Structure 1
Amino acid sequence: MFIIGGAFGFDQAVYERANEKVSLSNLTFSHQMIRLFFLEQLYRIASILKGEKYHHK
């Protein structure tokens, strides 16, 4: 499960329950932008795992 926090992050209880934490940026972005960034990263991972060329040369 992935959850996106607000500008000030989560309550400490959420951090304590988390198995892993991922930060997409130290900057603050809108939820819409973070969803786009996150989906792009999932696409990148899926492409690399399938053996497709992600970076074009």
Structure 2
Amino acid sequence: MTSNSAKRDLRVVVMGAGMAGILSAIKLREAGFGSVTVYEKAAPRGRHLAGEYLPRPDL
């Protein structure tokens, strides 16, 4: 079992900002990991859902 102080000292990287990646980051933070970074290769334009690009609606 990892102690809380050891969890706070670890730096965790989650690859992919899809639903699973975001949920993983949330659960890692809830579990006590202090430094969780999420990386995504897709461009931040529009919206993505499960790896599929959805065009941004013109507002």
TM-score of the two chains, using structure 1 as the length reference: 0.27
- Which structure carries more relative contact order (alpha carbon 8 Å, separation 6+)? 2
Decide which structure has the larger Cα Rg and report it: 2
> Which structure carries more helix by proportion?
1
Could you tell me the TM-score, scaled by structure 2's length?
A: 0.26
